[in-house]
Structure 1
Amino acid sequence: MRPPNPSTKSPILMAPSLPPPRRRRRRTPSPVDNAMREIFLRLPADDPGSLVRAAAVCRSWFRILSDEAFAREYRAFRRAPPMLGFLHNQPPVYKRPSWVSHFVSTTTFSPPEFEDLEGYQVLDSRHGLVLLYSPEMGEYFVVSDLVTHEDWEIHVDPKCHGIMRWEDDGPEDVSEGIRCNAAVLCDKDLCDHLDCHGGPFLVALVGSDDAEGSMALATVYSSKTREWSDVISVDVDEPDLIYDKAHSAVVGNKVYVPCVESSCVLEYDIGEQELSVISVPYEDQDESQRYVDLMGVEDGMLLFASVMKPRLYLWSMEAGPNGAAGWARRRFIELEPLLPRSILLDNFTVSAVGFAEGVSVIFVSTQSGLYTIELSSGRCDKVNVEEHVQKAMPYMSFYIGERGLLD
């Protein structure tokens, strides 16, 4: 066999080079498309079905609504995610010895797998995430994204037992559930919290240990490291400090938790790993109005609420340096034109039980049912809930369809 001639070129190398691929020309939006884009930006975010119906009209509308740039513009235009619904717990009873967590839809969004979740206790809802605890399923938390259907299981570290006031004296203690305050929050760098899906996230626990007396404790779980931080503590003036059924609030990287009688608030700085006590000022309040509940955050300040019929009182508090604090704003809303007159005249309890941040909607629980009040417009609506709601946790997120045009 004759050896190959190195000077002979391969047929592949001798073949003429192929022309470069043609770049697809980007379609310039027509004036009509630009006008429709502006209209779509103004469709109500609390009606997720409106954009889905619009996308089904024609190809050009679908192309606009499925564009990633439109999704970013839509979130930025709204400035805050809409309230898709809220969550609340139903504690164990004699014939049903387990917790049941409920999701109540206030829009066309309704996760079927979460409407009635037995065996779980909802602890918090924030940044499109829901934090649950399973007292019966083996000592673990679950962080759930109701839009993307993602779930993350977090096992309880033994160091958390003191904070949670874990009891192991018999099956009756299981019904008590968790006995500390908890918060879930997004841990994305420089996130505007308009699109927090997929993590990472933090879970903060703040509680008090009976064995330690007047001592508040805190720890945080990071989904980045999959570990709980060391437990930190601070001395307080009264035992059994943490009000586990109250709301927590988050400002930046700081978690705020109210105390038993709302006489002070704990500030848990997750970044600096510091726990401090902030006194809530009552100098300008009547004695009967001393019991105010922490609702959440409004305009970057802590929002407190108290119902003294026939008024709903609201206070905003801004924490200053060295734990100092002061009321920054005080206002009230007349409830008489909003709620049934019989509730305000009779000796029925009326209380604020939740607050939807960004859209400024407060939940008010009464003997005749649950109501929502928009603080900006004063609009009041009754929510179709049969159970008594002690703590309403709004679920805030953008959602369009099953797979989501804006997810």
Structure 2
Amino acid sequence: MAWPPELIDDATAEILIRLPPDEPAHLVRAVLVCVKQIHDFYPLSVCTSWRRILTDPAFLHRYRAFHGTPPLLGFFDVATGPYRVVPSFTPTVQQASPVPHRTFDCADWWTLDCRHGRVLFGLSLYMERLVVWDPITGDHQELPDPRIPVGNYTGAVLCSVRGCDHLSCHGGPFHVVLAGGYNCEDNTVRAHLYSSEAGTWIASTHLNLEPHVIRRPSACIGGDIYFQLSDSMILRYHAEKNGLSVIHPPAAHTSEGGIVLVPMEDGSLGLVGVRGSRLCLWSTSLNNPEGIAGWVRCGDVELMTGIPLMPYSDVYIVGSAEGLGIVFVATEVGRFAIELKSGRERKVDEPGIYYAIFPFVSFYTPGTMLAH
């Protein structure tokens, strides 16, 4: 029996483009399997043809555009031990993780944020040094000293290209927002804006408020950044106006295990908290430059259906994956990723003592160079 002719490149690309991106090794494995199966008949042409398609920047752009939302590859956190604070990476993919498990082998580095393919780290509680790292390309950039007094800060990193779809931000310009306060006596919260294009801190603003902050994932909506000051107060940084304002969580919500902020599909701010064995989801009824008009309860997720919780078990919400509708909870039996729409639960790590989870969301194909 004669073997069928080779697939033309266009047909091959149409097949490969439909492989899901949530396991980065799928594309490479598909090529290797096909090469192995028909190597005796097309030993050179298949290998070079399929590899050429897989590494073609145009195909990688099409692949990302076809799937739209980058997948979750894992998460950064801050593991604590005696006199040490060490960021580490936990992959949620089975193979071909782009990041080594131990990110920094030194003490006192804090994960501050993770967005648009970049990670923001700060040295020590007082942000004496700040580094932005791209795990896919390996590029890293140390930011200049913001020249601010010692204080308690959190931060956010985001792509600064206007109109970008954020499917491949690698190598492009970015902004960093540092928010927090100096000390409890100062009663002032400040925000500082860094531009990688300018190579300097380009703006700052302040608000009279107690400067306590919680280092959990921020939420980016329409260019504005939302930080948690506490479980009862949210700080909004207005990027275009370079101003700060405060939002209070819904009065009817009393969270027993913390809250996280999430962008909603309609562009409003959302909030997820824990009450007993349930996740409670709220959204703002109106989001405008002046603030919000109120909160609307928009659903619950029951955790007992898939997580083997004992009665009176503690559940803490520790992170959210922006754009994926996923939040993370820490329990005595492990850490779990919860899909808010479906309620589907997936264990992603064993139990541990962690402050927060910062999801790393990006397209990644092993063995290829991403086009900037």
Q: Distance in 2 between matches of 1:292 and 1:314?
A: 13
Q: Deviations over 1:342-370 (max 9, x none)?
A: 2xx1x321021111122222111001211
Give the secondary structure class of the aligned counterpart of 2:230.
coil
Moved more, 273-282 or 394-403: 273-282
| Structure 2 CA distance for aligned equivalents of residues 329 and 320 of structure 1 | 19
> Is contact 1:281-1:325 (8 Å) kept?
no
Structure 1 214/105 Cα, relative in aligned 2: closer, same or farther at 3 Å?
same
Quick one: structure 1 residues 336 and 244, their matched pair in 2 at CA, closer, same or farther if it must change by over 3 Å? closer
Whether the 8 Å CA contact 1:280–1:325 is kept in 2: the answer is no
Give the Cα–Cα distance (whole angstroms) in 1 for the partners of residues 207 and 105 of structure 2. 36
Do the aligned residues in 1 keep the contact of 2:125 with 2:153 (CA within 8 Å)?
no
Higher share of residues assigned strand: 2
Change beyond 3 A, Cα 1:292–1:100: closer
Q: How many angstroms does 1:289 deviate by?
A: 4.1
1:379 counterpart (320, 344, 347): 344
| Alignment correspondent of 1:369 | 334
Q: Which residue of 1 aligns with 2:171?
A: 198
In structure 2, the partner of 1:249 is 219
Deviation at 1:209, TM superposition (A): 3.0
**Structure 2 unpaired stretches of 5+:** 1-5, 36-45
Q: TM-score, normalised by structure 1?
A: 0.78
1:355 is aligned to 320
Answering whether residue 26 of structure 2 is matched by residue 50 of structure 1, we say yes
1:118 aligns with 2:103: no
8 Å CA contact 1:218–1:268 kept in 2: the answer is yes
Report the identity percentage.
35
Unaligned runs of 5+ in 1: 1-29, 166-178
SS at match of 2:149: helix
Deviation of the 1:196 alpha carbon: 0.5
Using the TM superposition, give the Cα deviation of residue 231 of structure 1 relative to its aligned residue in structure 2, in angstroms: 2.9
Would you say 1:40 and 2:9 are equivalent positions?
A: no
Distance 1:42 1:72 in 2: 13
- What SS does structure 1 have at the residue aligned with 2:27? helix
- TM-score normalized with structure 2 length: 0.85
User: Does the aligned pair in 1 maintain the 2:320–2:328 contact within 8 Å?
Assistant: yes
Give the structure 1 partner of residue 42 of structure 2: none
Kindly name which structure, 1 or 2, has the bigger radius of gyration based on alpha carbons.
Answer: 1
Taking only aligned residues, the RMSD between alpha carbons, in angstroms, comes to: 2.6
1:121 counterpart letter in structure 2: W
1:335 aligns with 2:335: no
Q: Letter of the aligned partner of 2:182 in structure 1?
A: D
Report the equivalent of 2:229.
259
How far residue 223 of structure 1 moved from its aligned partner, in angstroms, is 0.9
- Mapped to 2, the partners of 1:268 and 1:186 lie a distance apart of 16
- After superposition, residues 209-288 of structure 1 pair within 5 angstroms as 209-210=182-183, 213-236=186-209, 239-240=210-211, 242-262=212-232, 264-282=233-251, 285=252, 288=254
Instruction: Assess if the C-alpha contact under 8 Å between 2:204 and 2:242 holds in 1.
Output: no
Assess, with a 3 A threshold, how the Cα gap between structure 1 residues 138 and 252 changes in structure 2: closer, same or farther. Answer: closer
User: CA distance change for structure 1 residues 116 and 398 in 2, over 3 Å: closer, same or farther?
Assistant: same
Bigger proportion of residues as helix: 1
Confirm or deny: 8 A CA contact 1:307 1:351 kept in the other structure.
yes
Q: How does 1:83-102 map to 2 (within 5 A)?
A: 83-93=72-82, 97-102=83-88
